[in-house]
Amino acid sequence: MQNRWSATLVISLLLVLSGTIACGGKNVHMTPASTQPAAQGVAELKHDKNGNLTVDLKVKHLARPEALTPPKTTYVVWIQSSNTAARKLGELKVNGKLEGEFKSPVPAANFQIFVTAEDGPTVSEPTGPEVLRQTVGVSQG
């Protein structure tokens, strides 16, 4: 009888832990473009209290867009699911320490997230050079 309770307890704990991992945060390290090899980025993906998936992208060592060749004015964060056009999430601002942070809800659990240098934040599609990219796959929680 005690072994049955022990087995039940172990199975219950495993189910709880697997749910926590599936619904908890996931860090995805961004891959820098060859033009900005020092750039680092980590996208933290997690579900909010309503179950919506959100991304918190933090970057370091990202050159100021004006310093690029050709110069640009800003960075823009995009996502793209398979067989769809890229969708702009918003502008990523970089401070004097070459760091930036961008937070946004995302509409899909499996997508490419990438950052481009652009002539302005109002672009409707990526036209500038890509500086960071990664593929994301998140379990639904």
Residue 21 maps to a domain: no
Region label for 117, one of left (φ > 0), alpha (ψ between -120 and 50) or beta (otherwise): beta
Q: What is the pLDDT of residue 140?
A: 53
Torsion of CA 104, 107, 109, 114, to 10 degrees: -60
User: What is the percentage of the chain residues whose pLDDT exceeds 70?
Assistant: 80
Q: Which domain holds residue 43?
A: 26-137
Q: What is the pLDDT of residue 139?
A: 63
**Nearest CA among 99, 134, 136, 138 for reference residue 115:** 134
What does the mean pLDDT of the chain come to? Answer: 85
Torsion of CA 75, 81, 82, 85, to 10 degrees: -60
pLDDT of 30 strictly over 90: yes
Residue 5 maps to a domain: no
Q: What is the pLDDT of residue 137?
A: 84
Residue 3 maps to a domain: no
pLDDT of 5 strictly over 50: no
> Mean pLDDT, to the nearest integer, of 22-41?
88
**pLDDT tens sequence across 62-91:** 999 999 999 999 999 999 998 899 999 999
**pLDDT tens sequence across 112-129:** 999 999 999 999 999 999
Give the count of domains, the chain: 1
Residue 131 exposed, middle or buried by CB count within 10 Å (0-12, 13-18, 19+): buried
CATH number for position 37: 2.60.40.200
Residue 12 maps to a domain: no
Q: What is the pLDDT of residue 15?
A: 33
Distances (CA, A) of 82 to 18, 19, 76: 27, 26, 20
pLDDT of 18 strictly over 80: no
Q: What is the pLDDT of residue 16?
A: 34
Residue 88 maps to a domain: yes
